[in-house]
A and B are shown apart, each in its own frame.
Chain A
Amino acid sequence: MGFFALMFLDIMELWEDTMTTIALMIAAILTAIVIAISIGV
C-alpha cells in the first residue's frame, strides 16, 4: 500500500513537496521526542 501511495505522490508531481514535508516532520518529531522524554522523566 505504501508503494502505491508514494507512486500516487510521484504521479501528481508532488514528490519534492512531499519530501520537504516529511523532512520537516521527522526532524520536528525526533527533536520533540528527545526533549519531551527528558522533561517527562
Chain B
Amino acid sequence: MRRSLNVRKTITPLLDLMQTLPSFVYLTSTVMIFGPGKIPALIATIVYALPPLIRLTDLGLCSVNLAAMEASRAFRTNPRQRLFGVQIPLVLPTILAEVNQTTIMALSVVVIAPMIGAGGLGYQVLQGIGRLEVSRGLFAGLSIVTLAIIFDQVTQAFGKQLQARIGLAKAS
C-alpha cells in the first residue's frame, strides 16, 4: 500500500467504509453467505479487525526516520533488507500497540458473534438477557472483562519482551 499510489487510492475508501459499518452489518452479511456457525463469526471478526491494523502499519512505515533510511541506503541495502532490517524493527512498537488495540476490538465482535450461532461467552450473556437471568448475564459479562484484561496484559508483555529482544526497550 505504501509503495503504490494507485493501491492506496483504492484501499483507503474501502478501509473508510469498513470502519464506518457497524459490526452487526458484518455479522448479517457473513451469515447470509456462509450460514450460521463459527466460520461467519471468524470472517466477520477478521474483517472488523483489518482496517485499523492496515492503517497503523501504513502510518508506522510512513513515519520511519528518514536519516535511518538514508543511512541504510548508504550501505547499499536492497528494498527487502531495508524493510526487514530497518523499517519493520523501527515500526514494531506501533505494530504491537495496534495488535493490542485490535485484540480488544475483536473481542467486542466475538462477544456478539453468538447471535449467529458461534457460541462462546456472548451466548451466556444472550441467554441471561433472554431468560432475565441477571446473575448469568452478570457473571458472563465479568468473564468477558476478565478475558479482555488477560489479553491486554499478555499482548503488552509480549510487546515489551519483543522490543527488549531487538534492543528498542528495556525488559521490565
The interface stretch among B27-35, B66-74, B119-127, B161-169 is B119-127
Q: How many residues of B contact A (CB 8 A)?
A: 48
- Taking a contact as CB atoms under 8 Å apart, the answer to whether B46 and A40 are in contact is no
- Taking a contact as CB atoms under 8 Å apart, the answer to whether B124 and A28 are in contact is no
- Taking a contact as CB atoms under 8 Å apart, the answer to whether A14 and B139 are in contact is yes
- Taking a contact as CB atoms under 8 Å apart, the answer to whether A28 and B45 are in contact is yes
Which of chain B's residues 88-126 have a Cβ closer than 8 Å to chain A?
A: 88, 95, 99, 102-103, 106-107, 109-111, 113, 118-124
20 contacts between A and B (CB under 8 A): A2-B153, A8-B142, A8-B146, A9-B143, A14-B121, A14-B139, A17-B123, A18-B147, A24-B113, A25-B103, A28-B42, A28-B106, A28-B109, A31-B42, A33-B53, A36-B54, A37-B95, A40-B57, A40-B58, A41-B1
Query: A-side interface residues toward B, CB under 8 Å?
Result: 1-2, 5-6, 8-9, 12, 14, 17-18, 20-22, 24-25, 27-29, 31-33, 35-37, 39-41
